[in-house]
Structure 1
């Protein structure tokens, strides 16, 4: 089994945006007074950052007035607003982002840095950030991910050693429905077909209506990786081209999976499920909100199985129905028991300082970030108020990973308290294995409080499956002109592949037609497949 080291997965931004930012910038950008720092950050609709308790804590501790330019937690609109912010020329002192929403790719920060839009941080960290320095020393892989090959630190990435996050393509199946129908969890593709057919035809929710949706998903919770993996390793389903999701390893050879016979076999299987009405019609087009309308249907539970990292990404946890869903281990098929695995994220940054910030503000910003790397700053920043949102360990507390010392436990705040007290995922800059594993979690996984342990235990069977074909793109570095070339090819090719895969499954393309399959291969080549794999092969050869 591979060493479990993870950092967040990120969005790959279009380099043209960075060029637009430079074009929009004045030679002498206007700045706000040194006592006022402007930050671009995501914000929940009902939790304004201006009124946030952690905001007020930082302002008091560092004698600063924080003013926010905000965006949503919806990835698409958030990325667009970030790009518009840069291109306008009227951008803030710093960007503080959440990786699974939007962040800066390595290509972007290299371009922005070379243009002078963002400032290097290595000297600031060396002089004013002992806690960030200690984090780099504790986890050398984190330092390697943060600095470029020339030793420049253009921005800070988040390091989140999240065990369950590394296996994001899980299948969550309604165990109550299985029990009602006298079935067990499937272990092969054909067994899964049998279960889904029963969900469709045998009224497992007992309401006398044929309203069951056997299997559903969404753009952000794609069904393809889990269903494809018994036939050919799938690293994901990326509609934006943010990651090289279609690449895998055959030994040390980088392979584009949609060119293989196993991929066609997998698409044929998923097409058959679609034809039989076992897959939700909206699985490839609906967003999370539309998906939630089905998973949270108030009249009856109507979804038999969903894909995703965790139930919370599929449904509301409030009414308890999520406890009906249990993770189904990876299926075993013609290509074994592959499982999508991401041990890290792309080389990227979620925090950068722009040339709008004076030297005094640059120092203040790095001191604030250094505080977030401390135990106190991390807990207050991510979870909120001590004694309300979290507490220190007591005798008998059991950490998530029992090999780690207990560090803290989250609390259910009393009604009317503990709301808008933290920045949440914005402050997850150094959640290493010790921090994650040291969280105290109740041992009863069928409670809201035991949810994190539930995810940990559900992931264990996935960690035992085959990840040998996963291409660790997060370990390679492509820079300079070749990086821009790769960015264009990757965005275009991966976006095309995600669309074409969906078209084969939904019948727009005929997966059984040899001519249609050959046409697909020709289109792949036309998008630069040979160039794509060659660039990544060279980069992989340098680090493997």
Structure 2
């Protein structure tokens, strides 16, 4: 009897153990059926994700100025190393330069999606929410929980980041590009010729009135020393003035788009402060302080004006402005000194209200499409970039080639910092790594070297000294809200842009501002404000 009982008890224990093992195997699989050739990470001792070759298709833009020989991201060392590490090959689909938006739209309408699409999803109707609701891409929460330990830990340790990348209903639609460090979120502002200020015995301007005095002196004082009245005191690109950081409009505490005031969403161009801003720009234009060709100046023309010693000030990025022009002028004019100027205020000593502040997540991310048959493997492959090894690889490249560790700091080599072929920092680094976009966490140590000049470091600290509490965070809209908002704001934005030029150039008197406001209100502004306010209140409840 005792012997039989022992045998029965052993049988029960074995049955329970086998059932437990079966349940454990099931829980290790993705919500979808695991693909043939897929094994758990523990099973692949070499660290590979797959035990047999796997190719995934991936739609993504190339960087603006790829290095010679880099025709695809597969030519980049970071992706080559990732393929060796994971066993997964990527078939990159790059849209033609200048045709990115058109080719993305064609891809969306075709229904024939690649496995992964990396995009700024705010450009899709309804954003990432719309793309999920339309069945283009899939929600990733369950997959991240099961198969993305690096991103899972990041989100668990940083609730603010999880809030930013989630929709109002808690879904995550992409592996995000993240600028989590405040140092990385500001990179744009006003640049001014410090050597011109010094030559004319001028102090750095901090208020609108002081800027008027400085611009007048630039116009009349011949700071470039050629004996001609050819100086252009200020160039502000129209698209920047209206849509980006509004480097002067911010002095009035508003913007050219939607922003917050006391928790309420407002549209800047219909506020009384916007009229005061327009009047100031009109005065400066009449006095010849603003470039007469501001509305039609492109990047190449702007570059020519800076390197031609014609410009005294303009809006610019820390790398593509201060860094680019300083390096370009080293040999031509050793005295050339371009520095960052504070965002202006109306009252001396006040802290600027609004500057340029990139969100932690700007909607750029890698989303997995409904057509992907290898979701588990794709998630693991994308998650690699959020771990220590992948992060180093995609922020700094290959140790011994693109960077070296010096006292624990990943220091870019001379091939990157002083490229013998004359390549810019970003282009030279683009052979090895891509820390300026894509699914990863941008490393602060990248920007500290990208902005390595004293003028660049000082500019970043100057531009960061802004309140910035009245910017709207990235919001999520329903499909219906997105459609209505697009329909309303397309007309409003077109009218705003047309009238801006008319007001500044004098074709429309500033006294007609009230009529301008009524026209915008008649285009459905109130409904747009209600949509924005509702989305903002949902954001607060995330």
TM class, shorter-chain normalised?
0.7 to 0.9
For 2:505, the equivalent position in structure 1 comes to 506
The answer on whether the counterparts of 2:185 and 2:357 sit within 8 Å (CA) in structure 1 is yes
Matches within 5 A, 1:395-544: 407-413=409-415, 415=420, 420-427=431-438, 429-431=440-442, 435-436=443-444, 441=448, 450-451=452-453, 454-468=455-469, 470-474=470-474, 476-511=475-510, 514=511, 516-542=512-538, 543=540
For 2:311, the equivalent position in structure 1 comes to 303
Aligned in 2, Cα 1:490/1:330: closer, same or farther, shift over 3 Å?
same
Return the index of the structure with the highest Cα Rg. Answer: 2
Pairwise CA RMSD: 3.1
Whether 1:251 aligns to 2:262 is yes
The answer on whether the counterparts of 1:105 and 1:346 sit within 8 Å (CA) in structure 2 is no
Rounded to whole Å, the distance in 2 between the matches of 1:188 and 1:529 is 32
The answer on whether the counterparts of 1:169 and 1:226 sit within 8 Å (CA) in structure 2 is no
For 2:25, the equivalent position in structure 1 comes to none
The answer on whether the counterparts of 1:372 and 1:427 sit within 8 Å (CA) in structure 2 is no
Rounded to whole Å, the distance in 2 between the matches of 1:480 and 1:410 is 45
Rounded to whole Å, the distance in 2 between the matches of 1:504 and 1:205 is 31
The answer on whether the counterparts of 2:178 and 2:361 sit within 8 Å (CA) in structure 1 is no
Matches within 5 A, 1:27-66: 35-43=54-62, 44-45=65-66, 46=68, 47-49=70-72, 50-66=74-90
Aligned in 2, Cα 1:495/1:428: closer, same or farther, shift over 3 Å?
farther
Deviation at 1:305, TM superposition (A): 0.5
Deviation at 1:221, TM superposition (A): 4.2
The answer on whether the counterparts of 1:197 and 1:214 sit within 8 Å (CA) in structure 2 is yes
Whether 1:96 aligns to 2:118 is yes
Which runs of 5 or more structure 2 residues have no equivalent in the other structure?
A: 1-51, 422-427
Question: Which structure: greater helix fraction?
Answer: 2
User: Could you give the per-residue CA deviations for residues 425-462 of structure 1, whole angstroms, max 9, x where no partner exists?
Assistant: 2346223xxx42x56957xxxxx7724x7545323344
For 2:34, the equivalent position in structure 1 comes to none
The answer on whether the counterparts of 1:339 and 1:462 sit within 8 Å (CA) in structure 2 is no
Rounded to whole Å, the distance in 2 between the matches of 1:523 and 1:246 is 16
Residue in structure 2 matching 1:275, options 286, 296, 319: 286
Residue in structure 2 matching 1:161, options 163, 176, 180: 180
Rounded to whole Å, the distance in 2 between the matches of 1:38 and 1:103 is 22
The answer on whether the counterparts of 1:163 and 1:456 sit within 8 Å (CA) in structure 2 is no
Secondary structure of 2:295's aligned partner = coil
User: Could you give the per-residue CA deviations for residues 473-511 of structure 1, whole angstroms, max 9, x where no partner exists?
Assistant: 32x443342333234333443443244323322333222
Matches within 5 A, 1:99-498: 99=120, 107-163=126-182, 166-167=185-186, 170-219=189-238, 221-222=240-241, 225-234=246-255, 245-297=256-308, 301-310=309-318, 312-313=320-321, 315-320=324-329, 324-333=337-346, 337-342=352-357, 344=359, 348-358=363-373, 360=374, 362-394=375-407, 407-413=409-415, 415=420, 420-427=431-438, 429-431=440-442, 435-436=443-444, 441=448, 450-451=452-453, 454-468=455-469, 470-474=470-474, 476-498=475-497
Secondary structure of 1:171's aligned partner = strand
What's the TM-score, normalizing by structure 1? 0.76
Q: Give the number of equivalent residue pairs.
A: 466
Rounded to whole Å, the distance in 2 between the matches of 1:418 and 1:478 is 37
What's the TM-score, normalizing by structure 2? 0.77
Rounded to whole Å, the distance in 1 between the matches of 2:283 and 2:117 is 46
The answer on whether the counterparts of 1:35 and 1:63 sit within 8 Å (CA) in structure 2 is yes
For 1:13, the equivalent position in structure 2 comes to none
Deviation at 1:127, TM superposition (A): 1.9
Deviation at 1:257, TM superposition (A): 2.1
User: Could you give the per-residue CA deviations for residues 257-276 of structure 1, whole angstroms, max 9, x where no partner exists?
Assistant: 22222210111101111112
Rounded to whole Å, the distance in 2 between the matches of 1:369 and 1:247 is 34
Aligned in 2, Cα 1:72/1:320: closer, same or farther, shift over 3 Å?
farther
